[in-house]
Structure formats: C-alpha cells, structure tokens
Amino acid sequence: MRASIALSFAAIAVAAGSGALVHESPAYAADAAKIAIGSKAPMFSTTGAKAGKAYTLNLASELKKGPVVLYFFPKAFTSGCTAEAHEFATRMDEFKKAGATVIGLSADGIEELKKFSTEACQSKFAVAQATPQMIQAYGVGLSGRPNMTGRTSMVIAPNGRVTFVHNDMDYRDHVKLTLGAVQSMAKANKG
C-alpha cells in the first residue's frame, strides 16, 4: 500500500511567485479535494477550540500571521485522527519556526473538539468545525458521507493561494509533507 501512495504523487513544482514547494496527490478512499494548487482558498469563519476553550476562528485573520496549514480529518478520537493530531502537536515548534499556523478541521461538534484540542492536540494548535458549506467549498467530503470530511491537508500562503494539497486517508504522511511544504516556502521567502 505504501508503494501505491508513493506512486500517487501527481505533481511537484514551484508555485508561481511564492517559491513554495507544491505537491498534489489523488484521493485514497476519499473524494479528491476540489481545491486546485494556485487557486484562492475559500475564506471562512467557524467555531474553533484551542486548549479546551471555544472561540471564533477566521481564516483571513490567521493568514495575516503567515502561511496556514489546514488539515481536514474525519473524526476526533479515532485512531488515525488521534495519531495525526498528536504528530502535529509533537512537531508544532517546527511549524512555528517556519512561520506557519496549523488548524485541524472536522465535522465534529464543538464539545468534542474542545476535548480533542486538549487531549490529542495537547493544547498546541486549534481544531475547528468544518461546516457543510466548508466541506463543499473545499471539496473534502468523504465518499458516501457528505457531512464528514476525508483526510486532506493543504498549505495556504498568506496571499490566500493554495500552494500544497495532499489528499490521502492514510494519516502517516500528512504532517511530514505539510511541514516540508511550509519549510520550503520559508526558505524560498528568505532567499
């Protein structure tokens, strides 16, 4: 299965004007994300949680701080989603060093996400509600379950352009690949 994932990489290129590493891979047991590399990310406001506290999360405000890693995950407290959140939390200092903010998104309710933000995310980054409108706008619905997200990670540059997309239900490469994308973006912007 890992070999098929490696073969699924469709494109690696440098994003026009941003110098960011761009990578796109097709779906693995999920609908392919409909957001194209180079397109403007749909802006949104939703209810988020960090360290167990709910607040209004606004993508446009987050982008003013630098690049944003949005990662959609199917369900809080399932084994893959918990492992993925834990790995993002473990590597959060590296994301911050590259100037990136990480936001996890799922269709779970806010009470579940408040708990997930403290336990799996170790209070190191925000998780937020992916509304049906957001799931549709980003094209991250799970096949046969339109109100649940698949597993898709993307990097959005401060100008709102999507520079990286990885769409794969296997959680294991999402953190490594998104971190590589934001580190490449930071390196290109320094050069």
Residue 121 known to be catalytic: no
Of 37, 76, 81, 134, the active-site residue reads: 81
Q: What is the DSSP string of the chain?
A: -HHHHHHT--EEEEPTTT--EEEEE--SSSPPP-PPTTSBPPP-EEEEEETTEEEEEEHHHHHTTS-EEEEE-S-TTSHHHHHHHHHHHHTHHHHHHTT-EEEEEES--HHHHHHHHHHTSTTSSEEEE--HHHHHHHT-EETTEEEEE--EEEEE-TTSBEEEEEE-S-GGGHHHHHHHHHHHHHHHHH-
By annotation, the residues acting in catalysis are: 81
